[in-house]
Amino acid sequence: MLRVLTVSELTCHIKNLFENDPLLLNLWVKGEISNCKQAASGHLYFTLKDESSSIKAVMFRSRGYRLLFQPENGMAVRVRGYVSVYPRGGTYQLYVEEMEPEGTGALYLAFEQLKQKLEKEGLFAPQHKKKLPLLPRRIGIVTSPTGAVLRDMVKIIRRRWPGLQIVFVPVPVQGETAPGEVSRALHWLNRLKACDVIIVGRGGGSLEELWAFNTEIVARSIFASGIPVISAVGHETDFTIADWVADVRAPTPSAAAEMVVPVREEMARYLGLLEGRLMRAIREKLQTCRARLDACRQSRVFRHPVDVLCGFRGQVVDDLFQRLKRAIDQCRLHQQSRLALLSGRLQALSPLATLARGYSICTRVDTGEVVRGAGEVVPGEKVQVELYRGRLHCRVEETVEE
């Protein structure tokens, strides 16, 4: 009689078959990523497929943090891992331990992804680039304390401008700790305002050796720097993310040292040239002013000032005085005529002219109102009569209305 298995027993049996198959314990599988999503736990879940089949896959956070690139839907990859059964769902899936892009290196893919991301954010934009100081007082150098790079840069700077101060911050330039150390060095120089310009870089090497300068933390530290930064990483043909973010890219560390400070003797010659041009300009200006002064001194005004003031100029003043006097007299006569005309008009309209012809004005004593008819007063009421000369205080004896 056949044994009846539970679902758990069947799933466990199948899981043991998978785990005892040598092929499924460690294998490489290539395909295209789809349905890719990262859980809050950090685990990466996706489906790996080709033209006719698909398999579910998971990459745990402990493995995924080592990835240099970001897996995306549609990306062709090769993965290494093992196949097993997920008991709760009863499904088999691929447990991924390594992943690399198909057809291109993981480092190069990570480089391109970060480059596109930062470019979209504007970290490479020219308007964010700061100008290098013409004559820095202090130069900051962020590089490895070992190797020829530091010695070459210091030697060139000392030769071009002896006595210039150099602030050196030693950091590892490759390895897992390098990006964080370079970032902290840039932050320290900015926080203390220890220099006027910063050179950050290293000598040449492979893509893996230069990788610290292709990381996001270093790129954002360079962009956030308030002090101008020169990127001097590798040889002339080497390009890193730091080169695009920095204010200036130098093809080599030695070129950066030559770029950051001028030759003292050349600067002295240039200043001498400027001094000569300034002195010539001053002399020419003095000659022009002296010529103008001589011309003024030879003019009639300065040679015979009394003749000018008492002669022709005096006649002009007298003429102007007479013209002003005539204008004032004419204006006064015109205003007098206008005043007489207006006075005549006012006199014609004055009530005093009417009173002068024998008329009078009768008003009530109590209210001062003008009495226009006999019916407006009663016998015994006091009134006041205004004459051309003086006034009469009267009492009404009788009223007669017509």
Q: How far is CA 235 from the centre of its chain?
A: 34
Q: What is the CATH number of the domain that holds 39?
A: 2.40.50.140
Residue 254 in tokens: 């030695």
Produce one character per residue of 269-291: b if its CB has 16 or more CB atoms within 10 Å, e if not: eeeeeeeeeeeeeeeeeeeeeee
Single pTM value for the model: 0.53
Within a domain: 267: no
pLDDT band at 207 (very low <50, low <70, confident <90, very high): confident
pLDDT for residue 197: 96
Q: How far is CA 54 from the centre of its chain?
A: 52
- Judge if 148 and 94 occupy the same domain: no
Q: Note the pLDDT tens digit of each residue in 70-123.
A: 888 878 888 999 998 888 888 889 999 988 887 656 677 788 888 989 999 999
- Judge if 149 and 212 occupy the same domain: yes
Range of the domain at 60: 7-103
- Judge if 129 and 237 occupy the same domain: yes
Q: Note the pLDDT tens digit of each residue in 20-74.
A: 888 888 899 988 888 888 888 889 999 988 888 889 999 998 888 878 778 888 7
Task: Tell me: pLDDT of 315 over 90.
Answer: no
Q: Find the mean pLDDT for residues 141-170.
A: 92
pLDDT for residue 306: 66
Within a domain: 269: no
- Judge if 142 and 205 occupy the same domain: yes
The residues facing 370 across adjacent strands are: 363
pLDDT for residue 311: 58
Q: Note the pLDDT tens digit of each residue in 340-358.
A: 898 888 877 777 777 777 7
Q: What is the DSSP string of 3-49?
A: PPPPHHHHHHHHHHHHHT-HHHHSEEEEEEEEEEEE-TTS-EEEEEE
- Judge if 134 and 227 occupy the same domain: yes
Within a domain: 36: yes
Within a domain: 330: no
Within a domain: 116: no
Domain count, the chain: 4
- Judge if 203 and 290 occupy the same domain: no
Within a domain: 2: no
Q: Find the mean pLDDT for residues 138-148.
A: 92
